[in-house]
Structure formats: structure tokens, C-alpha cells
Amino acid sequence: MENYKNQGDKDTRSGFGEGLTELGRSNENVVALCADLTGSLKMNTFAEENPKRFFQAGIAEANMIGLAAGLATGGKIPFTGTFANFSTGRVYDQIRQSVAYSNKNVKICASHAGITLGEDGATHQILEDIGLMKMLPGMTVINTCDFNQTKSATIEISKFDGPVYLRFGRPKVANFTDSTQKFEIGKGLMLKEGSDVTIVATGHLVWEALIASEKLSQKGINSEIINIHTIKPIDEDIILNSVSKTGCLVSAEEHNILGGLGESISRLLTTKLPVPQEFVGTKDTFGESGTPSELMNKYGLNSSSIFDSAFKVLQRK
């Protein structure tokens, strides 16, 4: 942890909002659409500053995705915003046909992802979206870990030509990555080198992995911490290089273990360098109402689960 200090809790969705605001000022081709959640997605400033480039779609997500595909056909770079649940499952066929298969330059920006949406409960939480999106041919899938990384990713994906799913969340969480970082799509980040066990985390679980790493070192275990923000295409080299040294791996994500980051890593390891792996994630279940921290604890999405999984996988080496 010595290298990573919390600069103050901030929500990742505000990182998206700030990134989008910057894009509004710097790139006139960027347009934004929202399905009646402008405040929740922090898109207000973009909307106020660029009224001709902001489209309020109303509670009509399917039409919003179609509008975005059309705006992209017309040469614009559309960013759509709504909750992750309504950004993916509700509009899967629209994304599949009008965006992915048609290779449209649409950025699907999804807030309130995972279980940390909290009190609204399972109808609004989604723990399947990474799987849904990564299965679409040609879709880039990104899950950012803090405010700074989300802001940087938002700006960077505007420069990439192709459909992107950008996943972030609702609660205020540790903001610990560099505010001047340059986000590189598909490039994992080595947060801490170690020799005993590799821990690969994405999204809100990255900070938890850093906490777990400290607890592990107190027990004499030297863990290597990797942040995979781009789940597709995944940075194979950083993972393979790490496990060739440590010989075991724990994956951690705020997502169902079926279809998420862990499964992408497991396919990689099985085909290239088989080593034991343990999975931190939800176990094929829906969420429920509760505070974000209560839910993270109940569903095992925290530093203790990562710590326990590291011990378990070490015994399987």
C-alpha cells in the first residue's frame, strides 16, 4: 500500500462525468445520449455546455442505442449513459445488431454496475454484464477501478474507433491511481510486484486487492497485484509473466464468477500455462437490497475474501 494512497473517496461515475465534460470541450464530434438518468450519470455539465450534442432519450433505452448507432453512421462519436443493467441486458439485441455486428463507433457507458448499486436491489443491480458484453464479437470491455482511471478511460476511448463497453459504479470508493495517468486500452497495470501469488482484480475489487496484499505480507506472503481494467481484449502477457513466477492466481471482480474476468483468465491459463486459480466474485446469484459495504461483505467481494482465496490457492500449488 505504500505506493498507493487514497486521495479521498470519490465515485467512478463522477470520473466519467468529468471525462465527458472534457471531451465536450475538446472534441466536437463527441455526442452524448442519456435515458433519463443524467444526474445519476453525472452528464449534466456536458448537457449544459453542449445542448446541440446532447440527446435526452427518455426512458427508452432501445431507441437510445439505435439513435447512437445512427449518429455513429453519421460520423459522430456517441456516448450513451444509463445504469449497467439497462445498458446491456435490456438492449442486448440492439447492441448486438445495430452496434457490434454493424461495427459502429458507439461507447456504451454504464454506471451503477455490480452489487454496489445497493439499496435499489437486484432489479437494478447487474452481475452478468461483463459476460454479456465480452461475448459480442468486436466489443471492447473495460471496467475501471477508481475516479481517476474512469476519467482517463472515458477520454481515451473516444480516440479508439470501434464499439466499447465502459463499466463503472455508484458508490464513493478510494481514489488511488495517478490523476495524470495515460489510459491504455488492453494494457494491464502492475500495481505491486510479488513472488508467491498473483492477484488480478478489476473495478472496485482493485482497492480491496491492495488491502488484502498488505494483510498477506503481514503473514509473510508476497503477492503480486495486477489491475486488469480491459477485460477484452485481455492483456495476456502481464498475466502469463506473473504466473510463470508465482505459479498460482486469484481473480477478483464485482461480477458473477460465470462469464466474468476470472473465466477469461482461466481460459488463458488453461490454454497457455495451467496453474491453480481461485475466483472472488458472486457465485451465480442475484443481489439484494443493502448498503454497498454490507453487500460486498455478504457476497464475499472484499479484501478478506481475496486474502482467504490467496491462502487457498497457495495450498494448491
CA-based end-to-end distance of the chain: 26
* Residue 58 binds other proteins (CB under 8 A): yes
Task: Choose which of 5, 39, 60, 244 interacts with other proteins (CB under 8 A).
Answer: 60
Q: Hey, CA dihedral for 217, 252, 177, 113, is it positive or negative?
A: negative
* Stretch 137-196 residues interacting with other proteins (CB under 8 A): none
Question: All 3 cell numbers of residue 67?
Answer: 439513435
* Residue 285 binds other proteins (CB under 8 A): no
Element (H, E) at 281: strand 277-282
Q: Position of cell 452489487? A: 115
* Residue 107 binds other proteins (CB under 8 A): no
Task: Choose which of 62, 211, 258, 273 interacts with other proteins (CB under 8 A).
Answer: 62
Residue 60 or 190 having the CB closest to other proteins: 60
Residue 24 or 292 having the CB closest to other proteins: 24
Task: Choose which of 8, 9, 101, 195 interacts with other proteins (CB under 8 A).
Answer: 101
Give burial (CB, 10 Å; 0-12/13-18/19+) of 183.
Answer: buried
Q: How far is the CB of 163 from other proteins (least distance, A)?
A: 12
Secondary structure (H, E, C), 88-145 = CHHHHHHHHHHHHCCCCCCEEEEECCEHHHCCCCCCCCECCHHHHHHCCCCCEEEECC
> How many alpha carbons fall within 13 Å on the CB side of residue 123?
1
* Residue 198 binds other proteins (CB under 8 A): no
Task: Choose which of 10, 13, 76, 192 interacts with other proteins (CB under 8 A).
Answer: 76
* Residue 73 binds other proteins (CB under 8 A): yes
* Residue 103 binds other proteins (CB under 8 A): yes
Residue 9 or 48 having the CB closest to other proteins: 48
CA 129/CA 281 separation, integer angstroms:
13
Task: Choose which of 20, 32, 67, 200 interacts with other proteins (CB under 8 A).
Answer: 67
DSSP 278: E
CA 240/CA 156 separation, integer angstroms:
26
* Residue 69 binds other proteins (CB under 8 A): yes
Number of amino acids touching other proteins (CB under 8 A): 31
Q: How far is the CB of 69 from other proteins (least distance, A)?
A: 5
List of residues contacting other proteins (CB under 8 A): 31, 52-53, 55, 57-58, 60, 62-63, 65-76, 78, 93-94, 96-98, 101-104
